[in-house]
Amino acid sequence: MRLSTKGRYAVMAMTDLAGRQGADGALRAVSLAEIAARQQISLSYLEQLFARLRRRGLVKSVRGPGGGYRLAQSPSETNIADIVLAVDEPLRATRCGKPVGRGCMVGGERCMTHDLWEEMGRQLHAYLASVSLADVLSGKLRVAASEAA
């Protein structure tokens, strides 16, 4: 399973945006240039990602002085899976392409490990869907990881 930079950078940028929304809950617009500088991501790359995030309804753009982007929903209502899927990052671990139901082997058969990778993809999606931007910001995942060790 490989998560490309599109998915990782989109989550990093959205987490940054969520952290800058204002401690009082005020929805301050944040410029992509600010996010690009803090996260060390190319501004042009962020522009492409945020166009996709906006089309999927995860962010809203604000024009004019003080413009930029805001979250469309609260950080607790924005899950990581939605962000990754919004930038066209498939959450599947099999090497099988489309059409669905066909395998990766010559003739369309499924390989012997297909079900293993398919289930791993489902588990990954379920995990990312269970984690919100608020969870990432709160450090909740860091605590859970240290308890598992």
Using an 8 Å Cβ cutoff, are 56 and 81 in contact? no
3-class SS of residue 22: coil
The total number of structural domains in the chain stands at 1
Longest dimension (CA), the chain: 59
CATH code, domain with 41: 1.10.10.10
- Distance between CA 22 and CA 75 in Å, rounded? 12
Range of the domain at 46: 5-148
3-class SS of residue 68: strand
- Distance between CA 143 and CA 149 in Å, rounded? 10
Each residue's pLDDT tens digit, 74-100: 999 999 999 999 997 666 666 665 555
Percent of the chain with pLDDT over 90: 54
Does 102 score more than 60 pLDDT? Answer: yes
